[in-house]
Amino acid sequence: MTKRSGRRSGGRAARRAERTGGGIEQLRYITRDIPSVGLLTEEGLALIEENADTILEEIGIDFRDDAEALELFKDAGADIDGERVRFPRGLARHLVSTAPSTFTQLARNPERSVEMGGRNTVFAPVYGPPFIYDIEKGRRYAQLEDFQNIVKLAYMTPAMHHSGGTVCEPVDVPVNKRHLDMVYAHMRFSDKPFMGSVTHPERAADSVELAKILFGADVVDSQAVMVSLINANSPMTFDATMLGALKVYARSNQGLLITPFILAGAMAPVSVAGTMAQTLAEAMAGIALGQLCRPGSPVIFGSFLSSMSMQSGAPTFGTPEATLAIFGLAALARRLGVPFRSGGALTASKLPDAQAAYESANTLLPTVLAGTNFVLHGAGWLEGGLASGYEKFVMDADQLGMMQVLANGYDLSANGQALDAIREVGPGSHYLGCAHTQANFESAFYRSPVADNSSFEQWQSDGSKDTMQRAHDLYKSLLASYEAPPIDPGVDEALREFIAKKKASMPDAFA
C-alpha cells in the first residue's frame, strides 16, 4: 500500500520515538499497512458462525458457582438449567453488539498508550509460567527479581508495546500477596500499558484500586487502563474465579480479554472447523456476560489454541492446524466487531534452540498476517508455557522488530521508488556510494541485535558464539543499562502504602 517516506524502522517515525533508559528508541504500536490475510470464504465463515450459534442454543455453556451470572443471563432472555446457560439463536451476538470495536488502553506515559482493534497490532510479553530459564543457571522456579527483570526487558524492547501481566509467577512471594508486587512492578519499572490480576476477585479489585491511585479514580471509571485475561475453562465452562474477576473488571470499565484456552483433541474437537466454532461460542458467552455487567465496557475476543500430540498428549506449537485457526478466528472476530487476540512466539522446546525458533516463527508470522490486534506471549515463551526464558525473550523481541517492519508494508514514495538512484548508477556500476544509499543507509534495512552476519573469521575471533550465547549477553547488557522511568514520588508513596496495608491485613498463604 502507498506510504509516505520515512515510515520504516529507523526513519522519521523512529526518530520521533520516545526513549527509555539507555537511549533505546521505542516504537509506536503497529498500525498495519498490509492487508489482513483471510483463508476462509464467506460461506465458510457463515458456517462456523451458524455452528457456534447451534452450540450456544442446543448445548449451552456452564457458568459455575455464580448465581448472579445466571440471573443476569435469565433476565436477558437466556434459558437456565442449573448452571447451564442456553442462548436462543442470535441472543449472544446481540448482547456482544454493545462492546466497542476499538478502544484505547491508557499508559501512565501517554506516549505509550495503545489502540486495541482496527488495523492495530500490540505486542505483549509471555504470560503465566511458574519457571524461569537462562543458559547460565538453567530452569528454576521464578522469583520476584525475575518478574521485575522481565518487566524491565519488556520496557526496554522497542517493538514491545505492552508490559503484559504475569510474565512469570514469583513463587518466593505468598500466593495471596504476590499480585500486589506484580502489579506494582508494572507500574514502577515500566510506563507501558499493563494487565491486572485475575486469580481471585479480590485481587482484581486490588488491581483496580492500585490503578485508581496511579491514574485517578475518574480516569479509571471512564477509560481502560488495564486489560485482564479471563480464560474459559474449556470445553464450554467458565469457573467462579474467572467469573468473579470478569465482573470486577467489567463493572470498573476495564478491558476483558475473554479467551477460550484450548488444547484441541482434549478440550475441543480434533478438527479445525469444530474447534473454531466452539471457540467462537465460548468467547461470545463470556463477552456477553461482560456487557450485561456494564454495556459498552471494552473487550478483546481471545483465542489460545494448541494442537496436541495424539501419541503423548503433550501440546504442540507452530503447527499448520493452529495457523489455519488463527486466520479463521481473526476473520470471525472482525465480523463480530471486536478486537482479536491470538498467537505469539509459542514453542514446546525446553531451550531457546532451533525448535524454539521455527515453532515461534511459524506462530508469529501468521499472527501478524491474520490481523491480530493483541498478541500475548509475544516474547519469552518456552516449554509450552511452563517457563519464561531470558534468552528466548530477546530472541523473540528481535522477531517482533522484524514484524513491525513487515507490517509497515511498502514505501511507494519517491524515495522508496528510488528512480534517482537507478538513474545515477546506471548499468554495470554499484549503489554503495550513490546519494540515495548515503541518505538512507542507516534506516534502509532492519538490523538484528541478535543475529551474526559477519564472516566466519570475524565470528571466530569474536568467540564463536551461537545465538543463545549472544542473546544471553544481550539480556545481561540490557538489564545492566536499565533506568527506571520517572514516577511522581507522591503517587509512588501512595502505591507502596496501599500495598503495605493490604499485606499487613492478612497472613501469608502459599497455596
Interval 147-180: pLDDT, tens: 999 999 999 999 999 999 999 999 999 999 999 9
| 33 pLDDT tier (thresholds 50, 70, 90) | very high
pLDDT over 70 (residue 7) = no
The terminus-to-terminus CA distance of the chain in angstroms comes to: 53
Contact yes or no for 3/409 (Cβ under 8 A)? yes
**Per mean pLDDT, which range of 109-123, 234-248, 308-322, 479-493 is the poorest?**
308-322
- The pLDDT value recorded for residue 10 is 41
Largest CA distance in the chain: 80
DSSP 458: H
Reading phi first (left if > 0) and then psi (alpha if -120 to 50, else beta), residue 196 is in beta
Interval 430-455: pLDDT, tens: 999 999 999 999 989 999 999 999 99
| 510 pLDDT tier (thresholds 50, 70, 90) | confident
Interval 237-294: pLDDT, tens: 999 999 999 999 999 999 999 999 999 999 999 999 999 999 999 999 999 999 999 9
- The pLDDT value recorded for residue 19 is 67
Measure the CA–CA gap between 482 and 14, rounded to whole angstroms. Answer: 20
- The pLDDT value recorded for residue 177 is 98
Measure the CA–CA gap between 213 and 201, rounded to whole angstroms. Answer: 19
pLDDT over 90 (residue 187) = yes
Q: Which of 310, 320, 325 is nearest to 265 (CA)?
A: 310
| 313 pLDDT tier (thresholds 50, 70, 90) | confident
Give the angle subtended at the CA of 8 by the CAs of 395 and 455, to the nearest 5°: 50
Contact yes or no for 12/30 (Cβ under 8 A)? no
- The pLDDT value recorded for residue 11 is 43
C-alpha 112, offset from chain centre: 15
Burial (CB < 10 A; 0-12, 13-18, 19+), residue 462, is: exposed
Measure the CA–CA gap between 121 and 373, rounded to whole angstroms. Answer: 4
- The pLDDT value recorded for residue 262 is 94
Measure the CA–CA gap between 6 and 13, rounded to whole angstroms. Answer: 7
Q: Where are the alpha helices (DSSP H) in 137-239?
A: 144-156, 178-189, 201-215, 217-222
Per the prediction, the chain carries an average pLDDT of 94
Interval 327-384: pLDDT, tens: 999 999 999 999 999 999 999 999 999 999 999 999 999 999 999 999 999 999 999 9
- The pLDDT value recorded for residue 308 is 87
| 79 pLDDT tier (thresholds 50, 70, 90) | very high
* DSSP 3-state of 206: helix
Give me the mean pLDDT over the 94-108 stretch: 98
C-alpha cell at 67: 448465581
C-alpha cell at 124: 505483549
Give me the mean pLDDT over the 26-49 stretch: 97
- The pLDDT value recorded for residue 469 is 97
- The pLDDT value recorded for residue 311 is 83
Interval 12-25: pLDDT, tens: 444 445 666 667 78
Q: When comparing pLDDT for 1 and 291, which is higher?
A: 291
pLDDT above 70 coverage of the chain, percent: 95
pLDDT over 60 (residue 5) = no
- The pLDDT value recorded for residue 310 is 84
